[in-house]
């Protein structure tokens, strides 16, 4: 990965930051994309202080023109994008029949349309070069029904299948597209929603919500997810495409 350019969306978040740090430690030059410009620059500065190479590119992944512009700017400044990580995501909880129009639209705008817009902009350039690798960070909820997570689960299922279809279409150009599906992970997006004891309840399981526990007995750390993402981008996964790698400690029982 030395000196190759990686573009990571959601780079200011917990999993996104871990992916950025892991890619930078592997020698990649990382273009960090997120709406949170201040947080983005803080993370980039810490990466540089650690000897890595990363630049902040604030942008909204739900804005088609902004996405095209940020990808163009990235390639002008850093060089051709070799790796794409679709890491931007939002979580809106609520019963399926009680979700607001705004909750539904906002969830799909980031989790699904954002994946489409960024992938289209980057992969169209990869096709011309006949090489590249894409990983979309989805969720184990994309394949397992969850109470209060209808919008999130549906949006991640759509992003998962989009990524696999994209991978099928561009495989003839030497481009690989894979999915990493985390379970409960210790990130601000998740922990901000927890009440006291919620972490242990996730580990133990909640029969009232039709959830088994986590067989490995712990919540994932962002680094666990980042390691899976970077593996699928790397040459160690050179013959893997259209694959979904679940990283949830067994919470979905190997589905």
Residue 20 confidence class, pLDDT cut points 50, 70, 90: very high
**pLDDT at residue 199, as a whole number:** 78
Summarize pLDDT for 156-193 with one digit per residue, the tens: 999 999 999 999 999 999 999 999 999 999 988 777 76
- Residue 152 known to be catalytic: yes
* pLDDT for the residue 200: 82
Per-residue pLDDT tens for 30-59?
999 999 999 999 999 999 999 999 999 999
229, 85 contact by CB (below 8 A): yes
State residue 243's pLDDT score. Answer: 98
Look up residue 94 and give its DSSP letter.
B
Closest CA to 139 of 115, 104, 169, 120: 115
The stretch 211-216 carries a mean pLDDT of: 93
Mean pLDDT of the chain: 95
Percent of the chain with pLDDT over 70: 98
Q: What is the mean pLDDT of residues 140-160?
A: 97
Instruction: Estimate the share of the chain in helix, then strand, then coil, as percent rounded to the nearest 5.
Output: 50, 20, 30
Element (H, E) at 14: helix 14-25
Per-residue confidence (pLDDT) for residue 168, from 0 to 100: 98
Q: Which tens digit of pLDDT belongs to each residue from 84-131?
A: 999 999 999 999 999 999 999 999 999 999 999 999 999 999 999 999
Average pLDDT of the residues in 58-85: 98
Which residue among 83, 108, 152, 162 is the active-site one? Answer: 152
Pseudo-torsion of CA 227, 228, 232, 237, nearest 10°?
90
If pLDDT is split at 50, 70 and 90, which confidence band does 197 have?
low
* DSSP-assigned beta bridge partners for residue 68: none
Task: Please check whether residue 24 is in contact with residue 52, taking contact to mean a CB–CB distance below 8 angstroms.
Answer: yes
Q: Which domains does the chain have, with CATH numbers?
A: 5-247 (3.40.50.720)
Residue 191: predicted pLDDT? 73
194 has a pLDDT exceeding 70: no
Is the pLDDT assigned to residue 196 strictly greater than 70? Answer: no
Total residues found in the chain within this entry = 255
How many percent of the chain have pLDDT more than 90?
Answer: 89
| CA distance linking residue 145 with residue 149, whole number of Å | 8
What's the CA gap between 139 and 246, in Å, rounded?
Answer: 8
């Amino acid at each position: 990965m030395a000196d190759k350019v990686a573009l990571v969306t959601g780079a200011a978040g917990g999993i996104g930051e871990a992916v950025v740090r892991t890619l930078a430690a592997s020698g990649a030059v990382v273009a960090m994309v997120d709406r949170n410009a201040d947080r983005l620059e803080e993370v980039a500065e810490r990466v540089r202080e650690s000897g890595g190479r990363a630049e902040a590119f604030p942008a909204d992944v739900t804005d088609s023109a902004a996405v095209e512009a940020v990808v163009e700017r990235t390639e002008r400044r850093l060089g051709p994008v070799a790796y794409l990580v679709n890491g931007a995501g939002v979580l809106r909880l609520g019963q399926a029949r009680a979700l607001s129009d705004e909750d539904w639209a906002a969830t799909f705008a980031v989790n699904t349309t954002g994946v489409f817009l960024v992938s289209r902009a980057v992969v169209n350039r990869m096709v011309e070069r006949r090489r590249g690798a894409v990983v979309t960070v989805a969720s184990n909820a994309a394949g397992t029904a969850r109470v209060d997570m209808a919008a999130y689960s549906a949006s991640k299922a759509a992003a998962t299948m989009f990524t696999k279809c994209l991978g099928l279409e561009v495989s003839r150009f030497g481009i690989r597209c894979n999915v990493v599906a985390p379970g409960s992970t210790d990130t601000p997006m998740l922990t901000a929603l927890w009440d006291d004891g919620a972490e242990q309840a996730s580990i133990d399981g909640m029969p009232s919500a039709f959830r088994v526990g986590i067989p490995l007995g712990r919540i994932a750390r962002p680094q666990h997810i980042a390691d899976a993402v970077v593996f699928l981008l790397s040459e160690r996964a050179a013959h893997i495409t259209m694959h979904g790698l679940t990283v949830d400690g067994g919470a979905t029982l190997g589905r």
